[in-house]
Structure 1
Amino acid sequence: MISDDSRPERIPPIGSCCSPTRPGHDRPTQPGADVRTRPPDPARHELEQATVSGRRFLMGDSTGAGNRGDGEVPVHEVWVDNFQIDATTVTNAAFARFVAQTGYRTEAETYGYSAVFHLAVAADPEDILGQPPEIPWWLGVRGADWTHPAGPRSTLEGVHDHPAVHVSWNDALAYCAWAGRRLPTEAEWECASRGGLPGRAFPWGDEWGDRYRCNTWQGVFPTLNTVDDGWLTTAPVREFAPNAFGVWQSVGNVWEWCSDWWDEHYYSYSPNRNPSGPPAGARRTMRGGSFLCHDSYCNRYRNSARASNTPDSSAANIGFRTVGIAQHGSNE
Structure 2
Amino acid sequence: MATSKLAVLALFALLGSVSCQAGGYYDYYYPTPQRPPTPSPAGTHLKVGYYRNKCAAAYVDVEAIVKKHVKATDAGMQAGLVRLFFHDCFVRGCDGSILLDTFSNDTSLTPEKFGVPNFPSLRGFEVIDAAKAEIEAACPGKVSCADIVAFAARDASYFLSAGGISFAMPAGRYDGTVSLASETLPNLPPPFAGFDQLVKMFGDKGLDASDMITLSGAHSIGRSHCSSFTRDRLPPSNTSDMDPAFAATLQAKCRSANAGTDNTVMQDFKSPDVLDNQYYKNVLAHKVLFTSDAALTTNFTSNNLVRAYADFVPYLWQQKFEKAMVKMGGIQLKTADNGEIRKTCRKVNNRT
Q: TM-score range by the shorter chain?
A: under 0.3
User: Which is higher, the Rg of structure 1 or of structure 2?
Assistant: 2
Q: Which has the higher helix share?
A: 2
Q: Which has the higher strand share?
A: 1
TM-score scaled by length of structure 1: 0.25
